[in-house]
Amino acid sequence: MLTGSFSLTTTSQMELIAISEKIHALIQKNSVSSGICYLFNPHTTAGLTINEGADPDVGDDLIKGLLHMVPSNLDYKHFEGNSPAHIMSSLVGSSLIVHIADGKPQLGTWQKIFFCEFDGPRTRKVHWKIVE
């Protein structure tokens, strides 16, 4: 079993950052040909998802849809003022499992792995574990 983490810096309040290449590089660096890669985001205002990565408008639309579902003008009680980010993080989720075969993540033709920032900009961390 291999474990580690990596950091990334977000530049906007809300954005999706493609991390598929980073995950592929981890798999190659560790010479893993088959197994699973578990990803965990330890932040309460960010998430992880797999979705279309060919058209950047899809990521923008995902954020637009989440903003529609989670309005910013409710009478939230959380004193930091980032309750919508907490809710979006819960909706998207904080972990993923990606199958590995032939030394690469098994994603669909249009799929990419994304780190979802909902309360940035910040420096964030993603933990990973590869089980062969």
Predicted confidence (pLDDT) per residue in 83-95, tens digit: 999 999 999 999 9
Q: Note the pLDDT of residue 104.
A: 97
Asked if 113 and 96 touch (Cβ cutoff 8 Å), the reply is yes
The domain of 38 spans: 2-72+79-131
Domain harbouring 110, CATH code: 2.60.120.460
Give the residue carrying structure tokens 């809710």: 87
Return d(Cα 25, Cα 36) in angstroms, integer: 14
Interatomic CA distance for residues 96 and 116, integer angstroms:
12
Q: How many domains does the chain have?
A: 1
Q: What SS3 state is found at 31?
A: coil
Q: What is the pTM of this model?
A: 0.96
pLDDT, tens digit, 9 for 90 and up, residues 8-66: 999 999 999 999 999 999 999 999 999 999 999 999 999 999 999 999 999 999 999 99
Query: How far is it, in rounded angstroms, from Cα 51 to Cα 20?
Result: 11
